[in-house]
Amino acid sequence: MSKFKHLTYQQRVIIEDRLRQNNSIRQIANELEKSPSTISREIQKNVIVSMSANNDCIHREGCPYKNRCPKEGCNSLCSECKMVSCKQYCPDYVPISCKRLRRPPYVCNGCPQRGHCQHRRVLYNSHKAQVGYNKNLKERREGYDITTGQLKTINELVSPMIKNGCSPYHIKQTYGDKIPVSEATLRRMIHGNVFDARDIDLREVVKRKERKRTRNKDRLARIHVSKIDHLYSDYLDYVKEHSVHTVEMDCVEGKKDEKATLLTLHFKEAFLQIAIIMEEQNSEEVVSALDKIERMIGADLFKEMFPLILTDNGQEFTDIKGMERSIHGGIRTKVFFCEPNRSDEKGSCENHHKMIRYAIPKGTSLEPFNQEDINLLMNHINSYSRKELHGLSAYKMAKMMFPSDFFDLLKIEEIPPEDINLTPRLFKNA
């Protein structure tokens, strides 16, 4: 016998059909592998009672009453009136009790006289029973199974982090059992305005329109001759032949009329991202930024950490030889390019730029920032819990993959999860 299971709509349809066939409650229960009491309660709770329009009072025969209704000047017997039903006004009205309704299953579904019966009808309807069940289930599941004290504690933990730009997933991963509700419930509570934080404080509530792309019929025609052997197809072949990780490179612009730019380097497998601030967005500054990283971590560690770089076709990435050559001579990395208008080929890097924009919105000048400010922002981003990493941060994932010297030399540090701030207020508090 299946216990602790709700009846389904299909089972309710079977109940209605078996009642029509005059099966007993026990027969129905055995067929559905439920207890007889479950079937009995289901029928009793979901019957539809329709009163007879005719006079079905047990006192109808020989009833002497007149003028029981408000109608004036009527001398007809109330029991024979065709205009008004006497049972609405007569205090002595008692409906005829059908023998069928005095024994289980107490319904008229299987009665052969149901089509022309003049008495009160009691019917079980599976469709209306399911509608009532769904409504009752929804009402019971509304609200939250927590105390007022728990709600206050959750609000004190959640609202500050939401206003600091953190997602419900990150908050749940940070506090764990201290927040006694699931991530989905946490989101419903925010949508339900039970916290100080509101929907407007959640980043992904407002959806942006998908960017329109211009289709280029002949992409190869736009590729410079120097990029031969550095195309995306060459990148795929190289990855198959060499067991190395991918670093995706791109730029994040500031104000359009200013020159300061961020060069971002994203470690695809670890979700880790670093950024170097550049005075201008040109090929010389890109090569200079890579040279700076090589000086900081050394040639050997640079080759280990940046075995290949995948970037787009921006003008700032045209100096392929400069990016690939080492400051100590020889080759330090391999550079490959995405196809034109295919930023999705390094989509992980593009997605992480959104997190930079949380703290430095688009159109904000980058000139007031120094490298220490950018390092602070990237540390907050890298310490953020990721659903793609099953609750780990990019920092923790990278720690398991990369040498510790890499983190020390580039000043990559972990931020406590409860202190993470991904809003412009991060730099005001620094």
Mean confidence (pLDDT) of the chain: 87
Query: How far, in Å, CA of 248 to CA of 198, rounded?
Result: 35
Q: Identify the band that residue 2 occupies on the pLDDT scale cut at 50, 70 and 90.
A: low
Reported as type and span, the H/E element at residue 292 is: helix 283-297
pLDDT of residue 283: 93
Tokens representing 239 are 């990855």
Contacts of 230 (CB under 8 A, 6+ apart): 320, 335, 336, 337
Measure CA 225 to chain center. 46
- Check whether 343 has a pLDDT greater than 90: no
Residue 221's pLDDT band, with cuts at 50, 70 and 90, is very low
Strand partners, 385: 393
User: What is the assigned CATH class of domain 224-429?
Assistant: alpha beta
Q: In whole angstroms, give the CA distance from residue 70 to residue 56.
A: 21
For the cut 70, the answer to whether the pLDDT of residue 134 exceeds it is yes
Q: Which amino acid is at 152?
A: K
129 vs 134: CA distance, rounded Å: 9
Query: Using 50, 70 and 90 to split pLDDT, how confident is the model at 118?
Result: confident
- Alpha carbon distance 287, 216 (integer Å): 29
Task: Give the mean pLDDT of 254-275.
Answer: 92
pTM of the predicted protein model: 0.62
Q: Is 161 exposed, middle or buried (0-12, 13-18, 19+ CB in 10 A)?
A: buried
- Structural tokens at position 400: 């398991």
pLDDT number for residue 205: 67
Q: Is 162 helix (H, G, I), strand (E, B) or coil?
A: helix
Two structure tokens written together for 216: 């280029």
Q: Which positions ≥6 away from 361 have C-beta within 8 Å?
A: 424
Split at pLDDT 50, 70, 90, the class of 375 is: very high
391-402 per-position pLDDT tens digit: 999 999 999 999
Check whether 59 has a pLDDT greater than 90: no
pLDDT digits (tens, 9 = 90+) for 29-54: 999 999 999 999 999 999 998 876 56
Residues 6+ away with beta carbon under 8 Å from 282: 315, 316
Comparing 235 with 87, the larger pLDDT belongs to: 235
Residues in the chain: 430
d(CA 53, CA 56): 8
Given this model, what pLDDT does residue 32 score?
92
